[in-house]
Structures are given as structure tokens and as C-alpha cells.
Amino acid sequence: GAVVSQHPSWVICKSGTSVKIECRSLDFQATTMFWYRQFPKQSLMLMATSNEGSKATYEQGVEKDKFLINHASLTLSTLTVTSAHPEDSSFYICSARSIEAFFGQGTRLTVV
Amino acid sequence: DQQVKQNSPSLSVQEGRISILNCDYTNSMFDYFLWYKKYPAEGPTFLISISSIKDKNEDGRFTVFLNKSAKHLSLHIVPSQPGDSAVYFCAASVGSNSGYALNFGKGTSLLVTP
């Protein structure tokens, strides 16, 4: 089946620094990719929809200046958490759909 | 507002028996439904899906039932195996088009005991 690869799988960073997470669709072209965030024992919450060649669409309550999304090609979307704070610590997952949605491995971000 | 609800946070089943995971939704526009299995610190893995034109879809030990009038779907796992122990997420979308995001429930943690 289709594979979505996400990197890194975990990262620890200091408060105030920025972290970039990459999401690649390995065997299909993804015009649209999705970024989710999961808090412990909670659902996957959609943060934004990443559209190749255009601006991302952010869900209500998600700061677009804090969570920068770039979808420069049909196989790569990146999420940059800018000026990270401890409350940004979470599990971030990207996804791309052909029909079913395929998910990356997720990135565990810890901001200290 | 949670449009997809999984009201049972956990379920424990004996090996060999049937596991039934339930899911309800509120948005009548949803017409494509999926179940995912997830382990901690990993991305969800697709299990099975169903379109609203069907009321049942079966794949090996996994069967999904859809009751549109009740806005309810369920995942049956028969027979349950210890390796099935994981968190199961129900998801729904408007259409199966690649441009539509999935709406997830909060998940049900399934434990299959030997």
C-alpha cells in the first residue's frame, strides 16, 4: 500500500527554537496533505490542510504564524513549529490520501 | 465539537472471542468511514473502510457495519488475537476524495487477553 514517511520520529528542542518536520508521500503524488496533532489519550485533531503550490488552510484556533506549512512539491510537505514553547510538546502526525488516508510515523516533539 | 464519537474508551476481550468497537457520528454529510489501528508513538494504520452506499464490508477477520439511519458504525474482529491489542480510531469524511480530511473519534483501547 501507499507509504507516507515522516521525519524525525522524535525531537527535543529548547524553548524559543524552531523545529521542522518533514512528511513525504513515497509512492503516490499528494496534492493535499494533512497535519494532525494528538494529545495524550485524545483524538487526532486536524491542524491544517497543506495544498501543493498554495497556502495551507488552518483549522480554527491554530496559529498559522506559529505552525508554518510548506507544500513545495507533490511528495513533500513540511511543518515548522516556530519559537517553540513547552505547551507545543505533542505528537504530530501527517497524512496523505489516495482514497484511504495513510499516515506518517508521527513525530514526538518535546520542548524543554 | 466532536463529530465522531467513540464512547467506550476501553474494551477487554478474551482471545478467540469477538471484539465489537462502536462509533457514532453526528454529521449527516459524512459518507465515507474508516477504521484505524494505532500503537503508542506511531502513526495510525489503515484497517478497513466503508462507503455509505454499503452497510457491510468484510476483510478477513475485520468486518465493518454501517447503520446510516442511526449514524452508527461498528468494527467486529473475529476471532480476536492478542496482537489486536491497540487503540482503534473511527474516522469519517465527506467523500473519499483525497482533498478531504478525516474526522476522528477519541479512540477505543482494545486489550485482548490470552
pLDDT digits (tens, 9 = 90+) for A63-87: 999 999 998 888 999 999 999 999 9
pLDDT attached to residue A107 = 95
| Residue located via cell numbers 518536520 | A21
Query: Which residues of chain B are under the pLDDT cut of 50?
Result: none
Residue B14: alpha-carbon gap to chain centroid: 19
Give the pLDDT confidence of A14-57 residue by residue, as tens digits: 999 999 999 999 888 888 899 999 987 788 899 999 988 888 99
Closest to B24 in 3D by CA, of B55, B2, B47, B54:
B2
pLDDT attached to residue A2 = 59
pLDDT attached to residue B92 = 94
Pick the residue with more confidence: B33 or A2? B33
With a CB cutoff of 8 Å and minimum separation 6, the contacts of A76 are A22, A23, A24
**Does B48 lie at the interface with A, CB-CB under 8 angstroms?**
no
What distance in Å separates residue B58's CA from the closest CA in chain A?
16
pLDDT attached to residue A28 = 82
Taking contacts as CB-CB distances below 8 angstroms, the residues of chain A near B44 are 44, 93, 103
**Does B112 lie at the interface with A, CB-CB under 8 angstroms?**
no
Judge whether residue A1 has pLDDT over 70: no
The three three-digit cell numbers of residue B15, written as one number: 482471545
**Does B10 lie at the interface with A, CB-CB under 8 angstroms?**
no
pLDDT attached to residue A42 = 81
Helices of type H across A18-106: none
pLDDT attached to residue B42 = 87
Average pLDDT over residues A93-97: 90
Those of residues 49-78 in B touching chain A at CB distance below 8 A are: 49
